[in-house]
A and B are shown apart, each in its own frame.
Chain A
Amino acid sequence: MAGEAGNEALAFHPMDQFKVEPLFDVALDYFAVSNVTQWMGVTVLCIIVLFVLGTGKRAVVPGRLQSVAELAYSFVYKMVEDVSGHDGVKYFPYVFTLFIFIVFSNFIGLIPGAFTTTSHIAVTAVLAMMVFLFVTILGFIKNGFHFLGLFWVSSAPLPLRPILALIELISYFVRPVSHSIRLAGNMMAGHAVIKVFAGFAPLVLMSWIGVAVTPLSILAITAMYGLEILVCFIQAYVFTILTCVYLKDALHPGH
């Protein structure tokens, strides 16, 4: 094979970027320091830099970092207030934590070579299950047995109600599944597509046809990257706004 050496050096699997590996030569158990730890640590550091050091001066006329922090604060605050109502504001720190963690993980995952923590079902499933359990328990605490009224659509004709109740029940339990897979799937899909295009980029080193393929694939990578920047934000936004919607259902199950 002519391009054997180049092939071997440049060959990579589009899913390889999602591999979880221990950083040191240890078994991958609970406490092993892995690349997950590394990139989550970067995320936490960035959040602390932005929200603690950035707002340290408490300036009335904000600097750059403080403006961004205030913008994020008001953005999420307004979202919680608009969607969940005034009694949802109590849970604002929780929603804000979710939003900030997801948005930072997504964007840090876009750095070439970085590991995207939110592209893993394990991570997003935990996030979604936390929301699901939190909302369900909160619903029962706040409304008691009335919370089940969420499934009994009183505006529908009586014979339809049991069927609707079944559908509502199923859709309620599908919530965490779709909630988590939407985020992980979006992140994974975008990154995998970029890697697939990247796999075609070095073709110019192997054959003349690469003259046409390589610029195309680099263009495609650039375009996908732009789309990914959009998707990173929108998915964090969607995750958060769905959390707010579920929170609203828990606080006011009547409507």
Chain B
Amino acid sequence: MSNTATTLSTATDAAASTAEAIAGAAETAGHATESAGMPQLDFATFPNQIFWLLVALVIIYTVLSKIALPRIGGILADRHGRITRDIEAAEKLKTQAVEAEKAYNHALIDARNEAAKIVAAAKADIQADLDKATAHADAEIAARAAESSKRIEEVRAGAVASVSDVAKDVAEAIVAALGGAADAKTVAAAVAARMKG
């Protein structure tokens, strides 16, 4: 093996320095053939490697299975539990909030209904009062009107009476002035007849 490498480099030795350098680089690739091939197949190193591998594996397994894995599993379970709990709590709070809103809406509707009822009652009351007052006023107005018309009638009657009186007096006076002797009874009849006509 090393023979080839050396022959190769001796051959290239004669050539230009470039070729020489490449051969040197190539030699690095094919160089230490003096070392017995692949170190992986050097069986003398196997016991040492296997021994230390087993030691390392036993340490890792013990540390992981006794300390690390239960701890990490615990942390993850813890977190999972906490998240679930938090979500549950949030869910509960949400339902509570929804219930509270429902109750609030309910109360609002109740209050509204109550208010409407009160308004209606008040309206009815007012209407009744108003009606009563109107009726009262109407009655009063009617009474006053009746009284007024009565008085007007009286006045009118009084006026007619005084007109006939005045007419009688005037007629008597006119008759007297004309020189006639007026009989009160005749004058009254004539005036009444005239008044009628």
- A residues with a Cβ closer than 8 A to B are 1-3, 7, 10-16, 18-20, 28-32, 34, 36-37, 40-41, 43-44, 47-48, 51-52, 55, 58-60, 62, 66, 69-70, 73-74, 92-94, 96-97, 100-101, 117, 119-123, 126-127, 184, 188, 196, 199-200, 202-203, 206-210, 213
- Chain B residues in 8 Å Cβ range of A29: 47-48
Cβ of B70 to closest chain A Cβ, rounded Å: 9
- Chain B residues in 8 Å Cβ range of A60: 75, 78-79, 82
Q: Is the CB of A101 within 8 A of B57?
A: yes
Given the interface contacts A28-B45, A122-B46, does A70 sit within 8 Å of B32 by beta carbon? no
Q: Is the CB of A2 within 8 A of B28?
A: no
Instruction: Tell me if B4 is interfacial: C-beta within 8 Å of chain A.
Output: no
In the complex the two chains form, what is the Cα distance from A119 to B40 in whole Å? Answer: 8
Q: Is the CB of B35 within 8 A of A210?
A: no
In the complex the two chains form, what is the Cα distance from A127 to B24 in whole Å? Answer: 39
Q: Which of A13, A70, A213 contacts B72 (CB 8 A)?
A: A70
Given the interface contacts A29-B47, A31-B51, does A93 sit within 8 Å of B69 by beta carbon? yes
Q: Is the CB of A47 within 8 A of B63?
A: yes
Q: Which of B21, B48, B59 contacts A34 (CB 8 A)?
A: B48
8 extra interface residue pairs, beta carbon distance < 8 Å, beyond A34-B49, A97-B57, A122-B49 = A13-B28, A31-B48, A40-B52, A93-B61, A127-B53, A203-B25, A206-B24, A206-B25
- Chain A residues in 8 Å Cβ range of B75: 55, 58-60, 62, 66, 70
In the complex the two chains form, what is the Cα distance from A209 to B72 in whole Å? Answer: 56
Lowest 9 A-B CB distances belong to which pairs?
A: A13-B32, A207-B21, A51-B68, A206-B21, A20-B45, A199-B28, A93-B65, A40-B56, A18-B39
In the complex the two chains form, what is the Cα distance from A18 to B37 in whole Å? Answer: 11
- Chain A residues in 8 Å Cβ range of B39: 15-16, 18-20, 120
B16-32 CB contacts (< 8 Å) to partner A: 17-18, 20-22, 24-25, 27-29, 31-32
Q: Is the CB of B47 within 8 A of A18?
A: no
Total inter-chain residue pairs, C-beta < 8 Å: 182
Could you pull out 28 A-B pairs where Cβ atoms are within 8 angstroms? A2-B21, A7-B24, A7-B27, A7-B28, A10-B28, A11-B32, A16-B35, A16-B39, A20-B42, A32-B48, A37-B48, A40-B52, A43-B56, A52-B67, A58-B74, A58-B78, A69-B72, A74-B76, A93-B61, A93-B64, A94-B61, A100-B60, A101-B60, A122-B40, A126-B50, A126-B54, A199-B29, A206-B24
Interface 1/0 per residue, B73-87 and A, CB below 8 Å: 111101100100000
Q: Which of B48, B49, B56, B76 contacts A73 (CB 8 A)?
A: B76
In the complex the two chains form, what is the Cα distance from A34 to B42 in whole Å? Answer: 15
Instruction: Tell me if B71 is interfacial: C-beta within 8 Å of chain A.
Output: yes
In chain B, what residue has the closest Cβ to A17?
A: B39
In the complex the two chains form, what is the Cα distance from A12 to B27 in whole Å? Answer: 9
Q: Is the CB of B25 within 8 A of A200?
A: yes
In chain B, what residue has the closest Cβ to A98?
A: B57
Instruction: Tell me if B13 is interfacial: C-beta within 8 Å of chain A.
Output: yes
In the complex the two chains form, what is the Cα distance from A47 to B39 in whole Å? Answer: 27
In the complex the two chains form, what is the Cα distance from A28 to B111 in whole Å? Answer: 96
Instruction: Tell me if B177 is interfacial: C-beta within 8 Å of chain A.
Output: no
- Chain A residues in 8 Å Cβ range of B74: 58
Cβ of B124 to closest chain A Cβ, rounded Å: 66
- Chain B residues in 8 Å Cβ range of A92: 69
Instruction: Tell me if B181 is interfacial: C-beta within 8 Å of chain A.
Output: no
Cβ of A190 to closest chain B Cβ, rounded Å: 14
Q: Is the CB of B51 within 8 A of A101?
A: no
Q: Is the CB of A100 within 8 A of B64?
A: yes
Instruction: Tell me if B41 is interfacial: C-beta within 8 Å of chain A.
Output: yes
In the complex the two chains form, what is the Cα distance from A20 to B79 in whole Å? Answer: 45
In chain B, what residue has the closest Cβ to A40?
A: B56
In chain B, what residue has the closest Cβ to A209?
A: B18
Q: Which of A11, A48, A126 contacts B31 (CB 8 A)?
A: A11
In chain B, what residue has the closest Cβ to A16?
A: B32
Cβ of B27 to closest chain A Cβ, rounded Å: 6
Instruction: Tell me if B178 is interfacial: C-beta within 8 Å of chain A.
Output: no
